[in-house]
A and B are shown apart, each in its own frame.
Chain A
Amino acid sequence: MARRNLLPWLLMAAPSVWLAIFFVAPLALMAFYSLRPNMEGGLFAWGWQPTLSNYRTILQGESYLPLLWVSIRVALVVAFCATLLSYPLAYFLVFRARLRAPLLLTLLILPFWTSYLLRIISWKVILGSNGVINSLLTYIGLVDQPVPLLIYSRLAVVVTLVYVWLPFVALPIYAALQRIDASLLEAATILGAPRWLAFLRVTFPLSLPGVIAGFFMVFIPTVGEFVTPLLVGGSRGALYGNLIEIFFGDGINWPLGAAMAFIMLLGVFALAGVVARLVDLRRLAG
């Protein structure tokens, strides 16, 4: 009896310790850092007075919080587009590709075996002023000067991120769709539902957990994204993550960076809370 009760705890011990060391501890350290007035005294300084001055700096800065709001909106757009585009992809893989699905799935995630930077740079090749698209437009005479907006803009950031995340969203949707028992769709069919109605009333609702998982898998990291804006965002494509990056990078101002990261964390939590209230996740799970 005792042994049986102990086993789950033992199994949970390893991930708990892992989480404690690599998630909770750094988070606590960040919180701690965000209260430091500055970097004086090195990384492990003691004897400073905790202060909220970093938070004050952020709240008083005229464009920091608006940029967070912009970043959240960009993340929503990216997550929405990535989900919208990857759904048909996953649907095709599950219901049409059948035996070829494993191969196609492998192809789908194949780009992830190459470096992220490489993929972004290849987008520069595609979108740049001498890039594939502009060359084509110039060649067919649609434009006589390269279209500059394709790269170095917030639009380019959105397009690139949607591309980068597409397979990430496709995977959970694929999993959710694949879990749907084929007999449920047959049941819907024989109960008189045409294909679109069977999709609307059975397939889609049952795939929602995958859709929501995919959406948030994209939304949450995109709010803090900084690499893509750096590479294709140009002068006006920065996201909130770029500010954090400045203070943890060149700026060597970890306290301010930590405070910024915390404000972002709170923002995302608040938003997730609102969503959880609007959408009853338990209901979707069935």
Chain B
Amino acid sequence: MLHAMRPSWRVLSVLLGVTLALTACQAAATEPPPPADQPTAAPAEPTSAPAEPAEPAATELSVLEWAYYEVPEMWVEFGQQYPEVTPIFNFGASDPDIYAKYLAGSGEDLVHFYTPWLQFYVDEGLIQAIDTAKLTNWEKVPEGFRESCTLDGVVYCVPWDWGFTSILYRTDMVPEGVDSWDALFDERFAGHVSMWDSGDGAVTVTSYILGYDEQNISDEQLAEMKQMWIDQRDLNLFYWTDEPELEAAITSGDVWVAYAWNGAYYRLLSAGVPVAYADPSEGRNSWIGQYAVSATTENYDLALAFLDGKLGEQTATHLLVDYAYGHVVPEYYDAVTDEALIEALSLNDPGILERTNFTLPISARDRDRFNQLWAEVKAAP
């Protein structure tokens, strides 16, 4: 193709055109969806024949899901029970992305989100209560996890995957260890700290350190936290947005102390990086993945059957062993033999969940306040 080119206007305009087109694609790929975005291609919902109440006749079930959770290993029991039903997965890239899609009316029967996003779905009337009587495995879920799905006495979701959030640190650089969330603010680690890029996460951490009630933060308390984070920037190398970025920086030795999820800990441990996962005096933080049923679904029973299967042993084992995430039913943990994974999930520490703070639901108003705090931290001179 090259030999036919001449340094002419025509070639140049073609190149320009291609370049512009590529830029446009790139922009489309990196920018958040514009509000004019139509609901993303919703699956052909079974709008036809009303199903028999007891025996679901639908052949499709749609789920708004995260990538990698669509594989059959992640719904083994459901697949065995309903071989004629094809689950249809649509994907979101992040909690805000999933929320925005659902808010725009993408309308899947099920949606998968993480703490603390439950409250927003409830407030906007996007999801409906779960009839736990229809879940054969519900009793196996510990009380703490069930509570994370309960608002005003109503169960709105089924908890499924979970993990810790704590301080991950290099044991060679921090031989004395880390026993408090305060390590993120320790001047000894200047230039080697990395915080997650999140306003919610930032408020959670400082609430633990200052002993404030995350769900009742006053403006004065918020201002105090903001100043802490503004000052923390002198210590913080960068705010991480995805785990591989953080793991690379810890492996290279650029970062010694970081806010991190246990998945990163597990992977670094497995890779032989000298790291430890703190058990801070304020308690670890824990996140929980939750599934909820659409307020407008026509496949309510089928959706519940899908969630019941999620709580089944085979699916749980795959989640634990294949993906190294915690599952909400502790009685399946015996399947885990990988030392690093046992360590990463603290499965050998029966008291750990007692000392752990589960992420609490927050209101939309607090979400706005926390994100403004984060914007002001980033914008501060």
Contacts and interface: CB of A to CB of B under 8 A. Distances in A.
Interface of A: 25-26, 29-30, 33, 38-44, 57, 61-64, 66-67, 70, 93-94, 98, 101-103, 105-106, 109, 112-113, 115-116, 128-130, 148, 152, 167-168, 171, 174-175, 178-179, 227, 230, 233-236, 238, 240, 242-243, 245-254, 256
Q: How large is the interface on B (under 10, 10 to 19, 20 to 34, 35 or more residues)?
A: 35 or more
A25 B34 CA distance: 11
Contact of B367 (A41, A152, A179, A252): A252
B366 to A, nearest CB: 12
A152 B22 contact: no
Sorted nearest first, the 6 A-B pairs with minimum C-beta distance are A251-B371, A102-B5, A235-B233, A63-B379, A238-B378, A67-B379
A167 B15 CA distance: 11
B375 A26 contact: no
A63 B375 CA distance: 9
Contacts of A235: 232-234, 236-239
Contacts of B376: 61-64
12 contacts: A33-B35, A43-B103, A63-B380, A116-B30, A130-B252, A167-B19, A171-B19, A178-B7, A248-B32, A250-B95, A250-B96, A250-B197
B12 A106 contact: no
B378 A243 contact: yes
Given A63-B381, A242-B378, A256 B368 contact: yes
Nearest to B371: A251
Interface in B66-110: 94-96, 99-100, 103-105
Nearest to A233: B238
B241 interface: yes
Contacts of B239: 235
Given A38-B364, A249-B96, A30 B7 contact: no
Contacts of B372: 57, 61, 251, 253, 256
Nearest to A21: B36
Contacts of B254: 128-130
A66 B197 CA distance: 22
